[in-house]
Structure 1
Amino acid sequence: MYSSKPAIVYGFHGLDKDVAIKILNQKSEFKHSNNKYDWLGNGVYFWENNLERAHQYAVQDSQRDNSNVKSPFVLGAVIELGNCLDLLDQKYNDFLKVAYEQLKNDLVAEGKLLPENKPFGTKDFDFKARELDCAVIRYACALAKEQGEPFDSVRAAFIEGNPLYEGARFFSENHIQLAIINPDCIKGIFLPRKSTQQIEFAEEKPSAKG
């Protein structure tokens, strides 16, 4: 009875400027990520209420080899999480343990190995390839769908970065991440306003004909 999360949250998505403008003009849509190493399984990824971290990620992504991000940019979205696999909720943590055990048993029966979480890339800012976590979340989503209660989104907190000060257990890149499975959860898209956050969004110059 407490599964649905009707409250609205703000999500921020780092991407290339040209792609962002197409999305704003309704000529394109957010990319649904389906990599086997995605941290929260399949979905459109957002940083929950974290404009600065989305911008940092876009800049970092632009520095990767063969990155599609040429001009780092950020779009905001108004999101309703719906039926959310929320890993800040004990019930869903327990459910994920069950999903892991069932996945492991299935793979053993098929003579296959469990995927592993492992390092990804060589640069300091490259994230880890979480193939195990991704596989377990995908399996949990499949179980929920079989039971007639498919998840609309996945939500989790991640501890990242360096200690904020000596002896601290708070870290510089802590964040909550969202993976939106059901695109209907995205109620609106917006361009974040300029502010003291020092994120420079290049403005479109009027054409000579305009």
Structure 2
Amino acid sequence: MTASSRYELLPSFLIGFHGTDQKTAEKVLSGKSHLTVSENDYDWLGHGIYFWEYSPLRAEQFVREKFKWQGRKEKVAVVGAIIDPGLCLNLLDARGLSYLEVGYDALLTARGGVEFLPKNGEGKELWMRKLDCAVINTVHELRAVTRTVEWQEANPEIAPLQSYDTVRGAFWEGGPIYPGARIERKNHVQICVRNSASIIGYFRPIPDS
């Protein structure tokens, strides 16, 4: 991996939306709690707090689908957040994508072969992204290694790599929105916040009239 590019620092605040149960939402909005980090082995952008960029409706749709699947009866709610992306592993950028190749090669070496790698889901389990999660988490681990005393002593001429504050990516799902379309019904952009300090504040979304 090379040193971070100036263009990995995203300069503008983003608006993100997170679906949850109403009780949790009220605690977060009152300042009594933070949204919790997701650490599932299938999280498609690695571990962190997930937000849908500029889409409160998609956040609500997702949490309703999730609660139905889980058999949960709580009322759902959406929490808005103002996010400073900071140093971002941006998977909508060529540089960010190149790091995934490095992460995959490192994971492959560590596991000892393709047959030992986790698998991504397909079809109805498209959301099950165990391989992608492992690769992205490996990218973070590789950067962390450069900040150890041992690595710095062995590589004094190379600057250590900062931790990413956020990871950003686009997901295509839901099937064609009309016959022959290459645009799908549930396309979205998500941002995964790894550094909670990147969340500048929470807010209650204003319902569309």
- TM-score, normalised by the number of residues in structure 2: 0.85
1:156 counterpart = 2:169: yes
Residue pairs, 1:7-156, within 5 angstroms: 7-67=12-72, 70-108=74-112, 113-118=116-121, 128-147=127-146, 148-156=161-169
Please state how far the C-alpha of 1:19 moved relative to its aligned partner. Answer: 0.5
Q: Distance in 2 between matches of 1:39 and 1:138?
A: 10
Which one of the candidate residues 186, 193, 200 is aligned to 1:180? 193
Give the secondary-structure state (helix, strand or coil) at the position aligned to 1:118: coil
* Cα displacement string for residues 20-44 of structure 1 (whole angstroms, at most 9, x for unaligned residues): 0011111211010001111111100
Please state how far the C-alpha of 1:90 moved relative to its aligned partner. Answer: 0.2
1:190 counterpart = 2:198: no
Q: Aligned residue pairs: how many? A: 190
Are the counterparts in 2 of residues 62 and 71 from structure 1 also a CA contact under 8 Å?
no
Whichever residue aligns with residue 20 of structure 1, its letter is A
Please state how far the C-alpha of 1:8 moved relative to its aligned partner. Answer: 0.4
- TM-score, normalised by the number of residues in structure 1: 0.85
Q: Distance in 1 between matches of 2:55 and 2:167?
A: 17
Q: Distance in 1 between matches of 2:110 and 2:70?
A: 37
Q: Distance in 1 between matches of 2:145 and 2:11?
A: 23
Please state how far the C-alpha of 1:66 moved relative to its aligned partner. Answer: 4.6
Are the counterparts in 2 of residues 145 and 151 from structure 1 also a CA contact under 8 Å?
no
Are the counterparts in 1 of residues 120 and 126 from structure 2 also a CA contact under 8 Å?
no
Q: Distance in 2 between matches of 1:172 and 1:14?
A: 19
Please state how far the C-alpha of 1:118 moved relative to its aligned partner. Answer: 2.2
Q: Distance in 1 between matches of 2:33 and 2:202?
A: 12
